[in-house]
Amino acid sequence: MLVLGIESSCDECSAAVVEDGRKVLSNIVATQIPLHAQYQGVVPEIASRAHTRWIEGVVREALEVASIRPDQLDGVAATYQPGLIGSLAVGLSFAKAMAFALGKPFKGVNHMLAHLYAPRLAGDIAYPFIGLLVSGGHSIICRAEDFDRIDVLGTTIDDAVGEAFDKVSKYYGYGYPGGQVIDELAEKGDDKAFRFPQPSLHKGNHRYDLSYSGLKTAVIHHLDDYRRQDAEASPENIAASFRKAAIDMLLTKLLLAAQDTGINRIVAGGGVAANAYLRRQLASRGDLEVHFPPLALCGDNGAMVAGIAYRYFQRGESDGLDLAPQSRVPIYKRGAGGEKTA
Ligand code: KG4
Ligand code: ZN
């Protein structure tokens, strides 16, 4: 089965053709980073306009690279939630129009479930597992029972982890987007130069929750309070110490969830899953079975959309052309209400 997957939830305009939910025949990712860099953050209006200009060319290239004619496709899919509404609308409308014109089934896909599917493009993974979904907009620890069934165990109560990397980098002028820049600087720094506090979060029902606004504020406004002896406040040392604090918090909660549930299989996804320290720390755990997406599939991409859509199509599930884009999924953010299962 050949599926075209389109991803336009934020600042990557991407399309991919994937065979049988596994074999990536093409995965074109047109990044808008240069368009947003001068603002040090994604500007929604600029993002949706760029998607509108680029989407046709990106889809055309995905088909060409895969050597597939549109009529050979068995289905068309696009991300419909969560994300920037104007950006989502472009990829979603394009996918629906294409499916309608071709007379093929259409499927709308959840962006976070697609991120969690990315490692499955590289090989089979058994369920259940503990999922770590970490991106610019979300930080979620979940229990996954199937590709479309997760139970959110913990989530951030304020900023997402990727957002904290981006904001720290923006403040110090290290570069945009901040995650990769800080990760690279950190490789050359001393992670003990500053000792940033871990947040004291409420326990009980929310013992896997995360919080990044305190760490961000400490790194940005109270740096000297956490400096150790005569440690130098170099970009490398700040980056290394911040990265350690940010990722250690994820690891603590993730390992707690694994221990409590007795599930030792961990699957990571999302832009922050590219983090070198996170990958090293988890890979060094002999007691865990850990799966990461390949680096090229950590960030936003169409392949994960096409991959997960195949699983729905395989079950005979598709969506109507009236499916609307949604910017938020309430269960992914603490305090926003809603049920606990997606
Ligand atoms: O999944 P993604 O591409 O887009 C969203 O769905 O948000 O994630 C982007 C986020 C950004 O915040 C970026 O700074 C972060 O992932 N990121 C990283 C790394 N590479 C990207 N964060 C930490 N370490 C990295 N190596
Ligand atoms: Zn993403």
Give dist(CA 89, CA 327) in Å, integer.
Answer: 10
Q: What are phi and psi of 24, to 5 degrees?
A: -85, 105
Q: Choose one of 31, 172, 272 to mutate for the ligand 1 pocket test, by most ligand atoms within 8 angstroms of C-beta.
A: 272
Residue of the nearest CA to atom 8 in ligand 1? 271
For residue 82 and ligand 1, the question of a CB distance below 6 A is answered with: no
- Sign of the alpha-carbon torsion through 179, 139, 128, 112: negative
Global pTM reads 0.96
CA of 134 to the centre of ligand 2 (A): 8
Residue of the nearest CA to atom 7 in ligand 1? 136
Burial 161-198 (b: 16+ CB within 10 A, else e): bbbbbbbbbbebebebbbbbbbbebbeebbbebbebee
For residue 269 and ligand 1, the question of a CB distance below 6 A is answered with: no
CA of 270 to the centre of ligand 1 (A): 7
For residue 179 and ligand 1, the question of a CB distance below 6 A is answered with: yes
pLDDT tens-digit profile, the chain (342 residues): 999 999 999 999 999 999 999 999 999 999 999 999 999 899 999 999 999 999 999 999 999 999 999 999 999 999 999 999 999 999 999 999 999 999 999 999 999 999 999 999 999 999 999 999 999 999 999 999 999 999 999 999 999 999 999 999 999 999 999 999 999 999 999 999 999 988 877 666 689 999 999 999 999 999 999 999 899 999 999 999 999 999 999 999 999 999 999 999 999 999 999 999 999 999 999 999 999 999 999 999 999 999 999 999 999 999 999 999 999 999 998 765 443 443
CA of 298 to the centre of ligand 2 (A): 8
Q: Residue 310 in contact with residue 3, Cβ under 8 Å?
A: yes
Number of the ligand 1 atom closest to the C-alpha atom of 9 = 6
Give dist(CA 137, CA 42) in Å, integer.
Answer: 12
CA of 57 to the centre of ligand 2 (A): 21
- Residue corresponding to tokens 């089934």: 105
CA of 149 to the centre of ligand 2 (A): 18
For residue 177 and ligand 1, the question of a CB distance below 6 A is answered with: yes
For residue 307 and ligand 1, the question of a CB distance below 6 A is answered with: no
